[in-house]
Structure 1
Amino acid sequence: MQAVKITEKVYWVGAIDWNIRDFHGYSTKRGTTYNAYLVLGEKPTLIDTVKKEFYGEMMARIKSVIDPKKIKIIISNHSEMDHSGALPQAVAAIEPEEVYVSAMGMKDITAQFHQELKLKTVKTGDKIDVGGDTISFVEARMLHWPDSMFSYLEKENVLFTNDVFGMHYATSKLFDDENEERMWLYEAEKYYANIVLPYSDIVLRFLDQVKKMGLAPRIIAPDHGFVWRKDPAKIVNLYAKWAAQAPKNKAVIVYDTMWGSTEKMAVQIADALREGGTEVKQLSMHACHRSDIATELLDASALIVGSPVLNSGIFPSLADVLCYLKGLRKKGLVGATFGSYGWSPAPIDELGKMLETMGVQVVAPAVKSLFVPDETVLKNCRELGLTVSKEVAKKLQ
């Protein structure tokens, strides 16, 4: 296992997880990386660790550069277990002079490991001398945990950003200029939509704060995905765009079906939306993962949800995805509902109430079909699609 040189003083010593396919209910079809960084100098410094299972890989990469016992400082920018899981083992093996965390990091790591790691807290504006260079700290609370912070290696002009500006993307090509944009852009967007989206207002304020501080790093080194060395401004600009939640003329139809009736309704709604000039994504829960739906919704203006009735309730896959989307708090959506039933249509009415609790503006009555939709029901579906398309156009004026 070899470290990867980033600058004359900075090495990547992380791990590549090629096989992970689920990350807290988020579908990671391309795996991920757990990035850790070694800063050389009079006081060699390890910035973040890796998931516990990859401790050996991280240590082997460190050993390819220096004896781990020579590391004097460990910095934990984020206490989530995919970055701090190997921290207790690393502290035991390295025996560093200091381990730095944010104040909330102190609380979280203590609660997770229940052992004495001799942690020291730092806050925005604090600096430490690592011998020949200085690391300064910027707290990034709720991006995306309360403990999150950035570490900035001043002379080398490298900003270590924990989960911010990252993506779940396993690659042996560890720099932005080595990866094709068509391969990584969707994964970066998906990461934002599924992890960072609820904190978009904080993202905008934080980007403004960093700008006012005069930080313009030549390299951005996140804890997932690759390192931004050629064009770090690209991912910063993408975050600003996604955080603004500026929608386009696009509707997402999310549905499930038992005997095909709800799907017939979805097809008519989708066709009417296209007729009205609205881009459509028709996504069946039989074929799509909740995290892919969240990604499609990132730049959408409308969410239309359809469900059959099962056991006097909505179909379980719809309850799952709506619970998930509610937590992501996407703003500015209009919406509508539809579905088929055999005895009682009441659960379909519940869909509308669920959308309203998510902050979605319901703009049309639910379309309901007793068993298989007839021509009247299908006509009502088309009218629903056209109504939503018109409402989307109004919002975009």
Structure 2
Amino acid sequence: MGYEYSPVKLADGIYSVGVIDWNLRDFHGYETPKGGTYNSYLIVDDKIALIDTVKSQFTEDFVNSIRQIVDPSEIDYVVANHVEMDHSSSLSRIMELAPDAKIYTSKRGKTGLCAYYKEEGCENWDFEVVGTGDELSLGNKTLMFIEAVMLHWPDSMHTYLKENKILFSNDAFGQHIATSQRFDYEVDDVIDDAAEYYANILMPFGSQVLKYFDKAKELGLEFNMIAPSHGVIWKKYINDILNAYKSWASGETVPKVPVIYDTMWGSTEIMAKEVLEGIRSAGVETELLHLRKNNLSTIIKEILDAPVIALGSTTINNGMFHSVAGFLTHLKGLKPKGKKAVVFGSYGWGGGGVQRAEDELDKGGIELLEKGLKVKFRPDSEDLKFCRELGTRLAEAAKEQ
């Protein structure tokens, strides 16, 4: 089960009222070993607004959290920044408790909500469709809405509290961590957690991220806090996360070559270690990442700022190893920009693993630096020399980016 936060006061009349999912281990098909949160925010002014809801199995925890501030029946407005069910599937319960509340959402948001919650009586809900720059006065406080198309769904929207300069950013700037803390300066490695989140969810949408920054500048937005729907609130490290997003969205890299592989009887692993040693000896950052012994989400994070990838696959049934195939399917969907790679691997009675992996990399828009390195059975001393030389060449390619 989840657990409500004791609501945390962010500023006068502004509260975090979401829930913690301590046992979340899978989200969007990738692993979340640190758990997660579903954040919601309550603003109490002359009118009361609730920004986003939480995943349905935590509905009653969520309602109890709200009740520590106000009776849910007093909610005047519900802002639905995004229709995905981890943010919206408690909405029908809120509308039962506050049937006269008006829902503010984007045009696509209304369409999506009514598609999901037709059976829950969506046709009876009072909707107000809003676009970028539209505002809602709560009395002393004003909400402004900003469409954030494809960050990371077509309906995505952010809400900005003008007087307090707080951005409620839904799925942007989030992290998947379960913590009773609420702010960035209270947890360790928060930028790393945000990088893993970005790499696995927002990597395909770099151009849209940059357009969003242009729109924020045009609107003159300033931020005292950025309050996402997952993880902790940015308060101390706002500039750090903004600069990180700009860097990731722009495809900026550092000299780095992760060595990603899987092996059946150890021969491809021997090759991987020699490739890694060639990279390391050339003075470039590297890491050995076995596909079945590391979280896929963590491996994807290591690719985020790496210009070059070394990929190793043994051959099975004339094709690549199944874990390599799954990795490449995920990577291809994330559409990484400006990446280069080389494939290596061993085979026994039949080859094909290296070639199939090269084919998938090419389909994913990743440039192949050179023809893959293949070894039959176990690599000998001459093969290991070739592996180390390959690592050196990859390191030099990474330095040139």
CA distance in 1, matches of 2:236, 2:98: 33
User: What TM-score, normalized to structure 2?
Assistant: 0.94
State the match for 1:263 in structure 2: 269
State the match for 1:29 in structure 2: 33
Pair 1:159-2:163 in alignment: no
Gaps of 5+ in 2: none
State the match for 2:135 in structure 1: 127
Pair 1:324-2:321 in alignment: no
8 A contact 1:51–1:81 mirrored in 2: yes
| Structure 1 residue 147 displacement after superposition | 0.7
Pair 1:222-2:228 in alignment: yes
8 A contact 1:200–1:243 mirrored in 2: yes
Pair 1:192-2:198 in alignment: yes
CA distance in 2, matches of 1:119, 1:344: 61
SS of 1:303's partner is strand
8 A contact 2:184–2:190 mirrored in 1: no
CA distance in 1, matches of 2:141, 2:369: 58
Residue among 175, 182, 185 paired with 2:183: 175
CA distance in 2, matches of 1:259, 1:206: 48
8 A contact 1:274–1:280 mirrored in 2: yes
Residue among 241, 253, 258 paired with 1:252: 258
CA distance in 1, matches of 2:220, 2:355: 52
Pair 1:142-2:146 in alignment: no
Q: Deviations over 1:308-327 (max 9, x none)?
A: 11122211000000111111
Q: Deviations over 1:63-120 (max 9, x none)?
A: 1111111111111001111100111111112213311111111121122222423332
- 1:227–1:393 Cα change, 3 Å: closer
Q: Deviations over 1:188-217 (max 9, x none)?
A: 111111111111111112112201211002
CA distance in 1, matches of 2:31, 2:192: 13
Gaps of 5+ in 1: none
Moved more, 102-111 or 375-384: 375-384
> How many pairs were matched up?
393
SS of 1:6's partner is strand
CA distance in 2, matches of 1:393, 1:5: 47
CA distance in 2, matches of 1:83, 1:75: 11
Moved more, 77-86 or 238-247: 238-247
Identity among equivalent pairs (%): 40
The amino acid across from 1:274 in the alignment is: R
Residue among 40, 45, 64 paired with 2:44: 40
State the match for 1:335 in structure 2: 341
Residue among 367, 370, 374 paired with 1:368: 374
8 A contact 1:253–1:305 mirrored in 2: yes
Pair 1:377-2:369 in alignment: no
| RMSD after superposition | 1.4
8 A contact 2:184–2:234 mirrored in 1: yes
- Structure 1 segments of 4+ aligned residues over 3 angstroms from their partners: none
State the match for 2:104 in structure 1: 100
| Structure 1 residue 231 displacement after superposition | 4.1
